[in-house]
Amino acid sequence: MNSRREFLTLSGAACFAQSNDVPKWKSKVIDIHLHWRQDLRMDKDANLVHMDGCGVDKAVLLTQARAGDAAAAAVAKYPAKFVWSVAADITKPDAEQVLTAAVRKGALAFGEIKYHVAADGPELRRAYALAGELGVPILIHFQEVDHFEGEGKWSTGFKNFAAMLKAYPKTKFVGHADAFWANVSADYREEAAYPVGPVKKGGVTDKLLGDFENMFGDVSANSGNNALSRDEEFTSGFLKRHQNKLMFGSDCGCSNGRGDGLGPSVAKRMQGKCVARETLGILHKHLDGGALTKVTWGNAHRLYKIKA
């Protein structure tokens, strides 16, 4: 009996590992971090190709304002599959006007917002205030360690972000990227983009998610996957603690939801892998039932006010 059961388990696992199979996740999945793809050479919508390849049901398409009309058209064509989020250059004087116009056209959020400015600087403050006024969440890329020479930093000063959460209580902030995720550990000193090893309790990110109603987290990208892969015990507690605040996102660059077509800039540990598959695997390992559904589906629907 034992060997028979073992055989079944092993063959089941092997079957799942085959990249040709689309994983069957235990809950419905919305990807809140899918950079909008428009590949007119393909006979199928390129966003759907990625989603269908990794078992994602719905996605928030992150779109630059100049492509807003095309994104809105994609949403109109596939209303059960897509909603969209808008980004505009917040260092330009017309940013508020552009972002407001996109929300009037149906964008449900600002993001991703990624510019070489301080997290408490005037450009981002204007965006925070406007997001609060319009009632849309704002997704921010926090990064303080360059990935390549001369890259520069993005939304700097995450360690002091509590001041912004207090200053803009009506605004819903969604944290993302290297500095947001590296700061799960209290000993992070900006020495690496993707720190490894055991997480030291009391990190800024853990604290902000716990202390502030308006702080949320996007588990996407290598940064989110790395933070949730370095210390199993931490991951389990962190996901359960913040099950009402965290949302699944991929920020994956692969073409098909199977890890193919990744560019040279992809992090070494993610080469040949689809981030969506990897991170959904982690979420399934540590969460189940209602908690899992909140992180892969429910929280995003509530925060982005998406009709189910």
Q: Which residues bind Zn ion (CB under 5 A)?
A: 141, 177, 252, 254, 274, 276
Q: What is the CA radius of gyration of the chain?
A: 19
Nearer to Zn ion, 216 or 291 (CB): 216
Nearer to Zn ion, 130 or 140 (CB): 140
Nearer to Zn ion, 183 or 291 (CB): 183
CB of 44 to Zn ion, least distance (A): 15
CB of 287 to Zn ion, least distance (A): 21
Nearer to Zn ion, 132 or 249 (CB): 249
The strands making up 30-35's β-sheet, listed across from edge to edge, are 30-35, 58-64, 82-87, 110-113, 138-141, 173-176, 215-218, 246-247
CB of 103 to Zn ion, least distance (A): 21
Q: Could you give phi then psi for residue 248, rounded to 5 degrees? A: -70, 135
Nearer to Zn ion, 130 or 174 (CB): 174
Q: How many helices (H) and strands (E) does the chain have?
A: 13, 8
- Alpha-carbon distances, residue 197 vs 47, 128, 184, 201, 264 (angstroms): 34, 34, 12, 13, 25
CB of 7 to Zn ion, least distance (A): 31
CB of 144 to Zn ion, least distance (A): 13
Burial state string for 134-143 with b = 16 or more CB within 10 A and e = fewer than 16: bebbbbbbbb
CB of 117 to Zn ion, least distance (A): 14
Nearer to Zn ion, 181 or 238 (CB): 181
**CA 46/CA 66 separation, integer angstroms:** 19
CB of 178 to Zn ion, least distance (A): 9
Q: Could you give phi then psi for residue 63, rounded to 5 degrees? A: -135, 140
- CB 246 within 8 Å of CB 297: no
Other residues' Cβ atoms within 10 Å of the Cβ of residue 278: 19
Residue 188 DSSP class: -
**CA 251/CA 174 separation, integer angstroms:** 14
Nearer to Zn ion, 95 or 276 (CB): 276
Q: Could you give phi then psi for residue 97, rounded to 5 degrees? A: -65, -45
Rounded (10°) CA dihedral 64, 67, 70, 72: 40
CB of 39 to Zn ion, least distance (A): 14
Nearer to Zn ion, 74 or 252 (CB): 252
Residue 269 DSSP class: G
